[in-house]
Structure 1
Amino acid sequence: MTAAIDIATVWAFIIAFAVFVYVVMDGFDLGLGILFPLFPRKADRDVIMNSVAPVWDGNETWLVLGGGGLMAAFPLAYAVLMPALYTPMIAMLIGLVFRGVAFEFRWRTRPSERNRWDIPFFAGSLVAALAQGVALGAILQGVQVEGRQYAGGWWDWLTPFSMLTGVAVVVGYALLGATWLVMKTEGELRDKAYHLSWFLLFAMIGAIGAVSLATPFLHIQYTERWFSWPGIALTAPVPVAVAIVTVLLLRSLARKRDYQPFLLTLTLFALSYAGLGISMWPYIVPQSITIWQAASPENSQVFMLFGVAVLIPLILGYTGWAYWVFRGKVKPGSGYH
């Protein structure tokens, strides 16, 4: 029994890791699309696209790993959550498709027509980010389960809390995109990205605060985890760390340290993600199904671990190599064509 619990826990962390890596890697990519209307000059938009062109294709690999791992390692949770989230998941996939098509076709049209593809690039990025945040909120607030299956309605995911988390994710992705531009660009484009980062940072802190205040009151488990002993021993350091990182981020923006804002924004995402994980543990479907109840047979999970042990280092290796090869600032007139 101990071994089974350990393996289920390992798989829970593997899936959480895959989802987090997707969020931070595709987050700045989606954030750039969300910020696109704020950079109307064609030259600026070309630089923005070139800054992410060498690395954006592989980001969805982690989304596939997270979703596929959930289906294989925790099939019950997959069977319950997917029907509950059909609408936001379909919206997310449509947004990602539109964004990908716009990204490629933008470079294959006459310059006079290029702005036509900028619109679906922005719209696809916004819809995908909003859908991801709404899905997160829907999971946190819980879904109706009866007899090991989803028993709710088609629109149960749509609540004020899920819309709040949707907006929070959009703001967070926009901040990631702005700090990415700070790190990867020069001149007026970089200066404008710095200016946007200030506003987006305060908006993100407000969104984190709003979600953090609302989450403990969704369920009694969340309230006890955040305000009762011994749960508070795990949760109390999170807001303290968020405050410290925020101060460091403000200082890095003020001193114009090009690389620090992006890395510190990633740290903010990691802390927020950890806070959500602490709230949910050990439930994979909040208030209904734990990771052990949802786990596939132990032999299946052990077998899949061998594949993941090879796959994850391989993906990390080629991803790291791509970022290393294309490191440094992106200059106008050079890049992806």
Structure 2
Amino acid sequence: MEINLVVVWALIIIFGLTMYVLSDGFDLGVGVLFLAAPNSRDRDAMLRSVTKRWDGSEAWLALVAVCFAIAFPPTLSVMWAAFSIPLLGMLFGLMIRGLAFKKRADNRGRWDALFCFGSMLVTFLQGTILGALIQGTAVEGQRFVGNQWDWLTWFSALTGLTLLLTYALLGATWLLVTTEGALYKKMRRHSHHLLVWFGYAMTIVMLVTPFLNEAQRERWLGLPNLFHMGFVPMLGVMAFVWVYYVIRFSEWRRWPFAITLIMLWTAFFTYITSLWPNIIIPNMSIYEMAGQANLGQPLWGILLFVLAILAYSFRAFKSSFDNPQLV
């Protein structure tokens, strides 16, 4: 059986994006929650919980960019033309985060505030890009023909706010795993409230999405799509109820984070299946955006890179689990 290399590369990109969202999500979530900690001792513990994982998350983003450059080169030019403003804003936010991480010993109050601001900026802009991609991008041929501010709409602002709640929830449940004492108790309370607000925001997004355009309406509400498109969101609802029970009525440390990851995976899977095979550009499939280069030759190197990042991430996670921060 002949392997479809275009699909293989697309699946690697989807896997890389999933791993980035699930790993860098709680890094950014810890930053979003930074000012919720009342003292510098708590904030020091929060930073220590993600320090060993700081570089691994961005490696997934680098992997995705390299895969796009090799397999789908026109996509990069379209993405830059359509989203140059939020992408530059994300870069600015990441720079602020990195600088605050290095300089906070000089003036903790100012740099802690900037660390939180940078995390919120990066998260919100990621959410707006996601919302703009769901709504659709103005492309003719392989060129972006829209306006530089098309990415900013009421729906993309909604998805930006939803992603803020999402990453904050991930960060809070991560701190349930990696902290103990007073900080652990605070994060358990925060996790409960964030989960409820996340549920409200995600419900609104899921109800609105099928009515954004004709393609989404047909994909979600047309028959027989209605039956299989609703299956994975129902799994997400089940995971939501499960994690609510675990956070509210149990003292388990690792399960809230693990179940939250499952719940977010169902949301990401639903997003991908609602667009496939037009993952990035709604009116162009992955086959139309694929480059003409030999896609088989560099594939082995990319797979080795994926294995290396997975090994690094596993060691970082294990170290964090084995050494909780006593606060």
Q: Larger deviation: 319-328 or 253-262?
A: 319-328
1:263 counterpart residue number = 258
**TM-score, structure 1 normalization:** 0.93
2:325 counterpart residue number = 331
Gaps of 5+ in 1: none
Shift of the alpha carbon at 1:329?
4.4
1:176 counterpart residue number = 170
2:98 counterpart residue number = 100
1:41 counterpart residue number = 39
1:29 counterpart residue number = 27
SS at match of 1:85: helix
Q: Is the 8 A contact 2:56 2:312 kept in 1?
A: no
Structure 1 214/330 Cα, relative in aligned 2: closer, same or farther at 3 Å?
same
Distance 2:307 2:323 in 1: 27
1:185 counterpart residue number = 179
1:147 matched to 2:145: no
Q: Is the 8 A contact 2:236 2:264 kept in 1?
A: no
Shift of the alpha carbon at 1:143?
1.1
Distance 1:63 1:120 in 2: 23
Distance 1:282 1:233 in 2: 19
Structure 1 326/188 Cα, relative in aligned 2: closer, same or farther at 3 Å?
closer
TM-superposition CA deviations, 1:142-182 (whole Å, max 9, x none)? 11112320001111111001101101111000000110111
1:244 matched to 2:256: no
Shift of the alpha carbon at 1:239?
2.1
SS at match of 2:128: helix
Q: Is the 8 A contact 1:132 1:166 kept in 2?
A: yes
Shift of the alpha carbon at 1:229?
2.1
Shift of the alpha carbon at 1:240?
1.2
1:11 counterpart residue number = 9
Which of 204, 214, 220 pairs up with 1:226?
220
Structure 1 54/125 Cα, relative in aligned 2: closer, same or farther at 3 Å?
same
TM-superposition CA deviations, 1:68-116 (whole Å, max 9, x none)? 2112211122221221011111111110111011112224x3xxx2222
Shift of the alpha carbon at 1:53?
1.0
Q: Is the 8 A contact 1:27 1:177 kept in 2?
A: yes
The one-letter code sitting in structure 1 at the alignment partner of 2:218 is E
Distance 1:268 1:97 in 2: 30
**TM-score, structure 2 normalization:** 0.95
Which of 120, 127, 132 pairs up with 1:138?
132
Shift of the alpha carbon at 1:3?
5.0
Which of 59, 69, 86 pairs up with 1:61?
59
Q: Is the 8 A contact 1:73 1:296 kept in 2?
A: yes
Structure 1 248/82 Cα, relative in aligned 2: closer, same or farther at 3 Å?
same
Which of 158, 162, 184 pairs up with 1:164?
158
Distance 2:166 2:78 in 1: 28
The one-letter code sitting in structure 2 at the alignment partner of 1:278 is T
Shift of the alpha carbon at 1:223?
1.3
Gaps of 5+ in 2: none
Q: Is the 8 A contact 2:133 2:280 kept in 1?
A: yes
Distance 2:90 2:115 in 1: 13
CA RMSD of aligned residues (A): 1.6
The one-letter code sitting in structure 1 at the alignment partner of 2:233 is P
Distance 1:14 1:231 in 2: 25
Percent sequence identity over matched residues? 37
Q: Is the 8 A contact 1:133 1:165 kept in 2?
A: yes
The one-letter code sitting in structure 1 at the alignment partner of 2:273 is I
Shift of the alpha carbon at 1:252?
0.9
The one-letter code sitting in structure 1 at the alignment partner of 2:173 is T
TM-superposition CA deviations, 1:114-143 (whole Å, max 9, x none)? 222101110110000001000111111111
The one-letter code sitting in structure 2 at the alignment partner of 1:100 is G
Shift of the alpha carbon at 1:301?
1.5
SS at match of 1:203: helix
Distance 2:36 2:315 in 1: 31
1:86 matched to 2:84: yes
Q: Is the 8 A contact 2:239 2:262 kept in 1?
A: yes
Structure 1 220/24 Cα, relative in aligned 2: closer, same or farther at 3 Å?
same
Distance 2:81 2:31 in 1: 29
